[in-house]
Amino acid sequence: MSPLEIVIVVVVFVVLVSGGLLVGRTRRRAGRPPFPSRMPEAGATTAQPPSEPARVAAPPIELAPLPRPELRERLGRARALLSGYLDGLRAHGLDESSFEQLEEALILADVGISTTTELIDGLRAKVREKEIGQSPEALIEALRAELTAMFEGDSPSLAKGTGEGPTVWLFVGVNGVGKTTTIGKLAAREAAGGSQVVLAAGDTFRAAAGEQLETWAARSEAGIIRGSEGADPSSVIFDAVQHAAARSAELVLADTAGRLHTKANLMEELKKVRRVAERPPGQLTEVLLVLDATTGQNALVQARQFTEAVGVTGIVLTKLDGTAKGGVVLAVRHELGIPIKLVGVGEKVEDLVEFDPEEFVAALFE
Amino acid sequence: MFETLTDRFEGILTRLRSRGRLGDAEVAEVLREIRVALLEADVNLNVVRDLTERIRARCTGAELSKSLTPAQQVIKVVNEELTETLGGTQFKLSYASKPPTVVLLAGLQGSGKTTAAASLARWFRQQGRSPYLVGADLQRPAAVEQLRVLGASVGVGVFSEPTDPVSVSRRGLEEAERLGRDVLIVDTAGRLAIDKELMEEVRRISEALHPHYTFLVVDSMTGQDAVRTAEAFNATLSLDGVILTKVDGDARGGAALSVKQVVGKPIAFVSTGERPADFEPFHPDRLANRILGMGDVLSLIEKAERNYDQQVAEKAVERLQAGRFSFDDFLEQLQQVKKMGPLQGVLGMLPGMPKEVKNAKIEEKDVAKVEAIIRSMTPKEREEPNLIDGSRRLRIANGSGTSAADVNNLLRQFKEMQKMMRSLPMGRMMGGVGGRQKRSGGRNKKKGGRVTPSARHSR
């Protein structure tokens, strides 16, 4: 028996015994409710003394009439590739290769193989049944209609609480998708719309995440509550809600640290953040999952896991101004029914726009 | 991250294994499945096409071997092509004859450049170098601040000033020379490949620095766009390699395959977590093995060699086979295995583990629970678990802060594994585990599982 085999046997043994115990336990636990939500004021007592809302003398950005950039225009660059496909398709008659070209275009847009296959098979059937015209143009038109219909009934507006107390919007997502930047832009937008906004710097893990948010707060004249590095994020959000309530600010935008959905402990932490955020006087009306448009099929897994943990109510799709087309949101909407709320198309404040399905799809097809 | 891809291939290849012959139709079916698996894993469409074509050509072609079944042959071909695509050999870094060796990091927003910069600095320190960091990301609010904090945490100085990225880089280089540092790592702002202005800026940074290595930092979750991004950055900066980040997620990591294929430059490092310590050189051959479900045996061996006391292990196996393996032995082995890293990671490296076991979440606190239970047993109970009756069980549960059911679970698990291990024939234990499990069937199936043929593949 080789030394390697010896080591493997021992490791297998140890891992299986330790791991096996857990398999049994997790299964049992699944039946029970998550876990009791206790830790009442604990958050407040463990919190660092909240810093006074930063009102830095930085010149606020001119925001008055919010210019609404044409999403279509911003997507111009992303569009080029797909329309290249479509031009080739139009030049050609309708045959099997038309379907293949469309399939290819959808896959390259990160729509994903299963949603793509479903769409293309549907088109094939429709052409066969003569439900749509026998031309490439009709085929493209049908696909466009189908894609737009996927977002039917969605509203991009973000819900505000109707009762007393500040509305809370919670932002979640994996690392580096643009949560902090999105909050910064949204704060400016909401402040320009006349709301008094408090930012909760709940990312207490990443170095200087608080500083980053503070810069944004200063730009939009929003208040900000920070904890020290490594502080309990729930306590920061608790303090922010209290702070907002005391000053009758309408809106709390709660940032959280980026976390991979595979980290069980971090997802548990997020559940706690959610429970604290929805405690009165706070009214949690939106849990927004921020997705990076360059992300591929893993976005679907992210959406599923975050929804399971904290009940995602909407998607913010960032970095759509690059060449990535974020087609995976089609799959997210299709499979999980989560609406897309906002789209990020640049680094400036006004580059965060409401999602418009028709514009989105049309932009892809022009 | 590559687990799911592994699962897909395992599914396909298991069916393949059970087939005696392989005709054109089978090859076509396998290729279709491989295509879907690769696309779901975000491998770029063109790379997929290329890869499946190469596999098809080699499979349907003549090179029939006498010693391998057709199925084994397909596996071998797929493995070779994947390894080839992933980079064949490992990236080797050499240092400039006239220090400092300059390393430039570039990439999209949020790909993990700043964290990678600090991780890389830590890695260079471990290699006995004295690195220096330059924060040239003056775009994102507080990016330099983040780098300073991270730099301080790994004990590496950071240079930055609020001027412009090109002069910061130039001054950083001068500063490194003045301080006698032998490696300079420059963190730049995230930028889109189609942003002409910012791409021109990074080109000028590169011109000012003449970096010895330019790395593109790529998020392992990236989709089809990875290729376009990599191509554009390569055209502007002529890359030397790629740093793949967020590998600790469950993305299938097709981006790694695509970028390697398109840019033709190796993946040099992978970042497996948010802390600077979670960073290591990339091993393409191991990864291909892992994609094929053979487990990351080489990494496991390396870790074992570094951390495992050979004699302790041998003694343990002897006792296992003699049926005298006690909870004390178990505890001792657990300490050894823990030295190899988090159990979850070790588990991921084991070859051929079934999905249920692989997906089980092993958290450190749960392992601590197992330890607590054992430590609450008397020496006698550890030697003879059969002694444990209702009242002893309650005492153990109370003593360890667990429940009687937890204690029971551990006892049952331990007994089953012990029985299994005892029945292993010497020398071919891996096959033995598999066979034994298959027969025992029923609800115990998930625990043991197929630990099968992989041992043969290990070198």
Is residue B298 over pLDDT 80?
A: no
Question: What pLDDT is attached to residue B339?
Answer: 72
CB–CB contact A22 B448 (8 Å): no
CB–CB contact B145 A211 (8 Å): yes
Pair of tokens at residue A254: 């709660």
- Residue pair B403/B373 in contact (Cβ under 8 Å)? The answer is no
**Chain A interface includes B249 (CB < 8 A):** yes
Pair of tokens at residue B401: 């802060």
Question: What pLDDT is attached to residue B426?
Answer: 43
Mean pLDDT of chain B: 77
CB–CB contact A13 B333 (8 Å): yes
Pick from B41, B108, B362: CB nearest A19: B362
The mean pLDDT value for B49-61 works out to 82
Q: What is the pLDDT of residues B167-225, one digit of tens each?
A: 999 999 999 999 999 999 999 999 988 888 999 999 999 999 999 999 999 998 999 98
CB–CB contact B142 A209 (8 Å): yes
In CATH, the number for domain A155-357 is 3.40.50.300
Domain coordinates of chain A in residue numbers?
Answer: 71-149, 155-357
Between residues A317 and A25, the one the model is more confident about: A317
Q: How confident is the model at residue A289 (pLDDT cuts 50, 70, 90)?
A: very high
The interface residues of chain B toward chain A in range 57-76, judged by CB-CB distance below 8 A, are none
Between residues A36 and A320, the one the model is more confident about: A320
Which is nearest to B301 in space by CA: B247, B351, B362, B361? B351
Global model pTM greater than 0.80:
no
Dihedral in degrees, nearest 10, Cα atoms B134, B136, B137, B138 = 120
Question: What pLDDT is attached to residue B338?
Answer: 76
Domain coordinates of chain B in residue numbers?
Answer: 3-86, 101-294, 298-457
Which is nearest to B367 in space by CA: B402, B418, B408, B315? B402
The mean pLDDT value for B137-156 works out to 90
- Residue pair B108/A294 in contact (Cβ under 8 Å)? The answer is yes
Other beta carbons within 10 Å of A216:
26
Strand intervals (E) in B258-390:
267-271, 279-281
**Chain A interface includes B166 (CB < 8 A):** no
Interface A-B, measured as beta-carbon pairs within 8 A, has a size of 261
Which CATH fold topology does B101-294 show?
Answer: Rossmann fold (3.40.50)
Pair of tokens at residue B362: 């092993």
CB–CB contact A212 B110 (8 Å): no
Pair of tokens at residue A286: 């939106």
How far is Cα A78 from Cα A76, in angstroms, rounded to an integer? 6
Write the CA distances from A179 to A74, A170, A323, B129, B161, integer angstroms: 21, 10, 20, 36, 26
Write the CA distances from B126 to B45, B105, B116, B131, B156, integer angstroms: 39, 19, 15, 10, 12
Which is nearest to B274 in space by CA: A271, A257, A202? A257
Contacts of A345 in chain B (CB under 8 A): none
Give the chain B residue whose CA is nearest to the CA of A3.
B310
**Which residues make beta-bridge pairs with A148?**
none
φ, ψ at B268 (rounded to 5°): -85, -45
Q: What is the pLDDT of residues B63-92, one digit of tens each?
A: 555 555 555 566 667 777 877 777 766 788
Q: How confident is the model at residue B119 (pLDDT cuts 50, 70, 90)?
A: very high
Q: Which are the contacts of B94, defined by CB distance < 8 A and separation ≥ 6?
A: none
Question: Which site among A1, A5, A14 would you substitute to test the B interface, given the most B Cβ atoms closer than 10 Å to its Cβ?
Answer: A14
Q: Is the ipTM of this complex over 0.85?
A: no
Least-confidence region, from A188-197, A212-221, B36-45, B294-303? B294-303
In CATH, the number for domain B298-457 is 1.10.260.30
CB–CB contact B366 A1 (8 Å): no
**The two domains A71-149 and A155-357 share their CATH topology (first three levels equal):** no
Residues present in chain B in total: 459
Strands B241-245 and B213-219: parallel
Minimal C-alpha gap between A158 and chain B (Å):
25
Q: How confident is the model at residue B8 (pLDDT cuts 50, 70, 90)?
A: low
Q: How confident is the model at residue B344 (pLDDT cuts 50, 70, 90)?
A: low
CB–CB contact B109 A19 (8 Å): no
Minimal C-alpha gap between B87 and chain A (Å):
22
Pick from B222, B310, B430: CB nearest A3: B310
Other beta carbons within 10 Å of A68:
9
In CATH, the number for domain A71-149 is 1.20.120.140
Give the chain B residue whose CA is nearest to the CA of A184.
B141
Is residue A41 over pLDDT 50?
A: no
CB–CB contact A7 B304 (8 Å): yes
The interface residues of chain B toward chain A in range 188-227, judged by CB-CB distance below 8 A, are 192-194, 219, 221-226
Contacts of B193 in chain A (CB under 8 A): 322-323
Is residue B141 over pLDDT 80?
A: yes
CB–CB contact B308 A19 (8 Å): no
Q: Judge: domain B3-86, CATH 1.20.120.140.
A: yes
Pick from A24, A206, A322: CB nearest B192: A322
Give the chain A residue whose CA is nearest to the CA of B109.
A176
**Chain A interface includes B252 (CB < 8 A):** yes
Question: What pLDDT is attached to residue A26?
Answer: 37
**Chain A interface includes B154 (CB < 8 A):** no
Phi-psi region of A227 (alpha: psi -120 to 50; beta: other; left: phi over 0): beta
Minimal C-alpha gap between B417 and chain A (Å):
7
Pair of tokens at residue B181: 């540092």
Contacts of A19 in chain B (CB under 8 A): 343, 347, 357, 360, 362
Q: Which amino acid is at A231?
A: A
Minimal C-alpha gap between B95 and chain A (Å):
30
Tokens 């780098």 sit at which residue? B147
φ, ψ at A304 (rounded to 5°): -65, -45
Give the chain B residue whose CA is nearest to the CA of A14.
B334
- Chain CA centroid to CA B136, Å: 30
